[in-house]
Each structure stands twice: as C-alpha cells, then as structure tokens.
Structure 1
Amino acid sequence: MGPAACLFDLDGLLLDTEPLQARAWHKAAAHFGCQLGAEQLLRLRGQRRLDCAALVCRWIAASGSNPPSSEALLAVRQPLADALVPTAAAMDGAAELVQMCRDHQVPMALVTSSTQDAVRRKAAPHRWLQLIEVRVYGDDPALAAGKPAPDPFLLAAKRLGRNPGDCWAFEDSAAGIEAALAAGCQVYALLPSDADAQATPAGVTRLNSLRDVRW
C-alpha cells in the first residue's frame, strides 16, 4: 500500500546543503577560537538554527575560548551560510520523487528545521520545490519544539489531514529520524552507502538513493 502522504525534510534530503551548512558552522566557530570536529558537525544536522547555535556556543566554552552569545555567533555564521546555500544542487532523484508524488496525487509537506526565509533562498533555483505547497518551517509559529521532537511531523500530518502513522517521512539526519519515529511515521532514511548499517534505527527503511522509492 502506498503512503497517505509524503513528508520531506529539505537539507541533505532534497537539496545537498549539508556540507555547505557544516562549512559555515565550522568557519563561524573558528572565528571564536574553536575548531569543530566531524562528529560535532554531524550532530548539528537536522536541528533548528537557534538550537544549533546554543550547542556550538557550549562547545566553544568547553574548548576554553570565550563563548559568544548565540546572536553574536549567528551574526558571523549567517552571512557565510547565506552565500553558500543557494549554490546547493538537488539530491539525486529528489525532483523526480516529488513529481512522482504529484503524478500519483499523493499529498506532500516540507518538514524542515530551516526558517521560512532560509528556505526561500535555498529553493529559489529549484522551481520543482513549488510542488510542495504545505510546509512546516523551523520558525513556524505553530511549532512548539523542533526536531528531534516529533512536533514538526505531527504538525505537517495535521495540516494535510492525515494520520501520522499512514505517512511516509523521508529524512537523512539523526535528529530528523528520531523526530519522525516519535511521530509514528513510516520512516525512510537516506544514508550513504558506506555508512554503518548498524547505525540504522529499528523500524527505519534505509535508502541509498531517492530513486529507490517505490509504491
């Protein structure tokens, strides 16, 4: 049986923005005297900007450097990210999967930790993203908590008028996967082929490419 609706993450799932986002966080932290490692940068994936900033500020403090406020950190980081993310390419098979949903009349929602303004900049070169009309942003006024809390997926399902358990959620980050599972969705995780298979949570269908999706 096919999905009652498809709920799509954006960064790292539909658009290849994650390496660019990581570069911006790395440079911003370095500006305040802290070198972030690969594992730390991975932990930032899928979370809202303010949540990430608070975490990076704690890491800066732990490194022995004088930590900035979240606002000061973001003042350095955002211009870097704003210049980088519009160059992000679509993930392989992303546009085709969205079009397949439209062709099969499967309702869709974008469930992203990015702000509405950030999504506008990222999506500008990708007109196919306009097919996803229902959206839950990281700064959505109706959102109580961001990923890894289930709230974004529950809100998206509500706006589509669907039971979360009948929705397919597509994610790539640990925070996003946790959120979708907690919401009760059927979860599909886009993970690199060389990633540790043991890291795939129970109940999650692993995808090497969005082209693998069938119903």
Structure 2
Amino acid sequence: MASTPRPAIQSRHTDPARRGGQRSLLLDLDGVLLDTRPVMQKAWGAVQQRHRIEVPFEQYEQHLGRPFNDIMRRLTVTDAEAVHQTYSEASKAVAHLARPFDGVEEVLHTLVARGWLLGVVTSKPLDRAAPLLAQLGCPFGSVRAAGGPGRSKPAPDPLLLALVDLCADPAQATFVGDMAVDHEAARRAGISRRWRAHSGATPRGGSPPPLRELPPNDQRHADEQAFLSAVTTRPNELGGIRSYLSPGDFADPLHQQLYRCLTALHHRGEPIDPITVLWEAQHRGVLASTTPETVLTTCARSGNDPDYWATRILDHALLSTTAASAEHIKLAVDDPTMTPQQLITVCRRALRDLTAVRLRRHHAHQRPPAPPLRSSRPPTQRSVTRPPPRIAPVNPFGPSYSAPRAPTSSSSR
C-alpha cells in the first residue's frame, strides 16, 4: 500500500545533520501570518448566496480552526461537501485579498538567518495554503495542512507531525496560534510555550462594520510611484527606510507588493533594478493582477530622493489612519450589539494603529542625515598653515656695537 505523500515543503534548514541545537517555531496561517479575513468573508458570502444559508459570517468565524465538516455540523448545515466546494472555489477566486501582517516577512527572514526551524500548521487545504505562503518568500521546514495524515486540530496530530519533520522536541518548541483549537492542540502535543497572536485584536464576532471606501487620492498615488522609482535607483537607502516605512503605509495594493519585492531583494543582498524587481514580482504572483510593463514603468530609474518620498508616504498614511481610527471608534460606539469589553478593545486597537504610524513618522524625522555624496573631481591639495619666519631683534646702537663685558674677579682695580 502506497504511503500518503506528506504535505511538507522541505528546505536546506531541515537537513538532519544541521538540526542539532536549533530552535523550532510552529505557526498558524490565518490570523497569524496573513490577514485572510476578507477572503473568508467573500467566500462565506458566496456560500450564503448559492446555498441559501442564513448563518452569519460571525457565527461561522467562531469555529475557525476546526475541520470544515465539523463546523458545518456545529452550524447544522446540510450538504457539507457541496458547501465546501463552493467555499473553496470562492476562496481561490479572491485569494489576492489576503495580505501578510506588517513586519511578518522581516521577522521570518530574521529567524531563519538566526538558525530557527520554521513550520506552518493550518486547517486550510494545501492547494489554498501554498499560494498564500508563497507571498512570504520564506523557506518553511514543514507545512502541515488539512487533508494530510492524522487528525486535524484540536487533535495534536498535525503539530506532532510537523515537529517530526523538523526533528524537534515538543518541550523545546514554540507555537503561535490565534484560536482556542490551536492552543488545545498545542497543549495536547506537549508544547510548553504557546503564544496567542495579536492579543490586542478585535474579539471574534465583535468587529465593527466595514469602513466606507475613501475617494482615490491622485497625489498619494503619484508620491508612492515617485518613491518606488527613487528607491529602485538608490537601493542602498532601503536599509534605513525599512526601519520606519511598512507595506501597509501604501494605499495602492500594487505598490504594497512592489515594496515587499524591494525589501525582500534587499534582505537577501541581491541586486536591485527594474528587471530584478519584475522577476521577484513574478515569483510572488504579483503579475496575476498587473502587467510587466506596469511594473517596469513604476520602478523606472529616476533622480528622486527616496527618503523624502518615504516621509511623504508616511504623511499620507498618518492622515488616512487618523480618519480610519476615528471612523472605527464612531462605528463601534454606534453599534448597540457591542459589549463594553469589545468596545474598549476596538477603541484601543484603533488608537494603537494610529500611535504606531505616529511613532514611525517621528523616527523618520530623527534619522541622522545621509552622508554627502563624494565628488567626482580629484581632491585638491590641502593648504598647510606654516608659522611665520623668526625675525632677529634689531640692535639700536648699530650693527658694529657690542656691549662691554662685565669685570671678572681676577681683574685689578
């Protein structure tokens, strides 16, 4: 009997000869690495429309992390297989709405560079999880998805199988999840360090209504394009800019993806020019929603200052975040179903997002000035200041006059 293929993505980091003493980190996918809530909302909306299901998305969301058929049973939804097929097709159609959380890619690459073994354990099928993980551009030692060997979460099977892939000890592993089933699975697997991701996030089922779409800002779009062309021309300045500018500061989704491409190339130490950015964009699936000509035009070389345009982008982000925070708080206050605890959490999160942008804008102002550019002219000889020549004193009695000598003790009177 042929063995079931293991849905794991192998890399050089999982070579058994190199694993000794390495620390391991297991991560959930949805709500930890990527914000996939917009995808799930759209997919569940397609299920409601096609199958005439009146169960609200918030009720479905409370059971996330469990096998899909188990969720349908808990929601008393019949014909689970047909519903699952509809949900899967709709999820693939709107997968481009998923976005990595700010800073996730940088953290993952830093952990890999420091010798950590990384694995992903998700209840999402592998054919839907793999394209999302490709956005991160990170080598995972193991990816355990729904449909593989063993039971699904909250059973410990997928976590234990991922640790087997990594040759890791559960007592020395760390797990990050955002749902109760994640932590139940980690407890049963014997993983002692369990972290709940995004502790300040809105509670499940307590999120405010979606914000209305803001009108397009042509100036903001032009500023973002000016920055991308400038930083492609002067990529050495990316090291400092990355410390305060994040992909979420861009309004245009294409510009967000191109900035991720630039930072990934810079992190790997690879050359940056319009062609390499286009190659990275193709590798990340960005060309599914744009054309190569658009990418090359956006990243065309220019003589602009990347620092200046980066701070302009932050200014736009600060204004839009202020407006969004105020609207989030207003919607939460006007929602009669919001409990006091949920209202406090929503307000804290809105103000936290605004504070984060303000701090990064302040950090951009505090950066030391860039060193001056070296001149192409040959260096001129430095002038040396010499002391003035010493002048002998002038004898007022003439050059032939000499002072009389004093008498000695042996002279006569």
Give the shorter-chain TM-score range.
0.7 to 0.9
Q: Which moved more, 1:177-186 or 1:38-47?
A: 38-47
Going from structure 1 to structure 2, the CA distance change for 1:28 and 1:53 (only over 3 Å counts) comes to farther
Residues 154 and 182 of structure 2 are in contact (CA less than 8 Å); yes or no, is this contact kept in structure 1? yes
Going from structure 1 to structure 2, the CA distance change for 1:112 and 1:42 (only over 3 Å counts) comes to same
Per-residue Cα deviation, 1:67-117 (whole angstroms, up to 9, x for no partner): 3x2221123222211112233110122112211211210111111112221
Q: How far apart are the structure 1 equivalents of 2:25 and 2:199? A: 21
Q: How far apart are the structure 2 equivalents of 1:194 and 1:115? A: 25
2:137 maps to which residue? Answer: 128
> Unaligned 5+ residue runs, structure 1?
62-66, 199-207, 210-215
Q: How does 1:60-99 map to 2 (within 5 A)?
A: 60-61=76-77, 67=78, 69-99=79-109
2:154 maps to which residue? Answer: 148
Residues 3 and 168 of structure 1 are in contact (CA less than 8 Å); yes or no, is this contact kept in structure 2? no
Q: How far apart are the structure 1 equivalents of 2:95 and 2:69? A: 18
Residues 86 and 123 of structure 1 are in contact (CA less than 8 Å); yes or no, is this contact kept in structure 2? no
Tell me, what secondary structure is at the counterpart of 1:110?
strand
2:165 maps to which residue? Answer: 159
TM-superposed CA distance for 1:53, in Å, is: 3.5
TM-superposed CA distance for 1:39, in Å, is: 4.6
Residues 123 and 145 of structure 2 are in contact (CA less than 8 Å); yes or no, is this contact kept in structure 1? yes
Tell me whether 1:193 sits opposite 2:197 in the alignment.
no
1:203 maps to which residue? Answer: none
* One-letter amino acid matched to 1:78: S
Residues 14 and 94 of structure 1 are in contact (CA less than 8 Å); yes or no, is this contact kept in structure 2? yes
Per-residue Cα deviation, 1:165-187 (whole angstroms, up to 9, x for no partner): 21010111221121112212111
Q: How far apart are the structure 1 equivalents of 2:128 and 2:58? A: 24
Structure with greater proportional strand content: 1
What TM-score do you get using the length of structure 1 for normalisation? 0.75
Going from structure 1 to structure 2, the CA distance change for 1:53 and 1:25 (only over 3 Å counts) comes to farther
Compute the RMSD of aligned alpha carbons. Answer: 2.7
Tell me, what secondary structure is at the counterpart of 2:196?
strand
1:46 maps to which residue? Answer: 65
TM-superposed CA distance for 1:127, in Å, is: 4.5
* One-letter amino acid matched to 1:188: W
> Unaligned 5+ residue runs, structure 2?
1-20, 204-340, 342-351, 354-413
TM-superposed CA distance for 1:23, in Å, is: 3.4
2:307 maps to which residue? Answer: none
TM-superposed CA distance for 1:4, in Å, is: 2.2
Going from structure 1 to structure 2, the CA distance change for 1:56 and 1:23 (only over 3 Å counts) comes to farther
TM-superposed CA distance for 1:132, in Å, is: 1.1
Going from structure 1 to structure 2, the CA distance change for 1:30 and 1:54 (only over 3 Å counts) comes to farther
TM-superposed CA distance for 1:163, in Å, is: 1.0
Q: How far apart are the structure 2 equivalents of 1:54 and 1:73? A: 13
Tell me whether 1:59 sits opposite 2:63 in the alignment.
no
Residues 86 and 121 of structure 1 are in contact (CA less than 8 Å); yes or no, is this contact kept in structure 2? no
Identity of aligned residues (%): 26
* One-letter amino acid matched to 1:145: R
Tell me whether 1:34 sits opposite 2:59 in the alignment.
no
TM-superposed CA distance for 1:25, in Å, is: 2.4
Per-residue Cα deviation, 1:141-188 (whole angstroms, up to 9, x for no partner): xx3111111111111111111111210101112211211122121111
How many residues were matched structurally?
185
What TM-score do you get using the length of structure 2 for normalisation? 0.41
Q: Which moved more, 1:105-114 or 1:18-27?
A: 18-27
Residues 32 and 60 of structure 1 are in contact (CA less than 8 Å); yes or no, is this contact kept in structure 2? no
Q: How far apart are the structure 2 equivalents of 1:181 and 1:100? A: 27
Residues 85 and 122 of structure 1 are in contact (CA less than 8 Å); yes or no, is this contact kept in structure 2? yes
Tell me, what secondary structure is at the counterpart of 1:155?
helix
Residues 21 and 85 of structure 1 are in contact (CA less than 8 Å); yes or no, is this contact kept in structure 2? no
Per-residue Cα deviation, 1:2-59 (whole angstroms, up to 9, x for no partner): 9820011111111111342243124314432322235522233223xxx224432552
Q: How far apart are the structure 1 equivalents of 2:129 and 2:122? A: 9
Q: How far apart are the structure 2 equivalents of 1:109 and 1:123? A: 11
1 or 2 for the larger relative contact order (CA 8 Å, sep ≥6)?
1
Tell me, what secondary structure is at the counterpart of 1:82?
helix
TM-superposed CA distance for 1:120, in Å, is: 2.2
* One-letter amino acid matched to 2:189: A
Residues 6 and 109 of structure 1 are in contact (CA less than 8 Å); yes or no, is this contact kept in structure 2? yes
Q: How far apart are the structure 2 equivalents of 1:3 and 1:37? A: 44
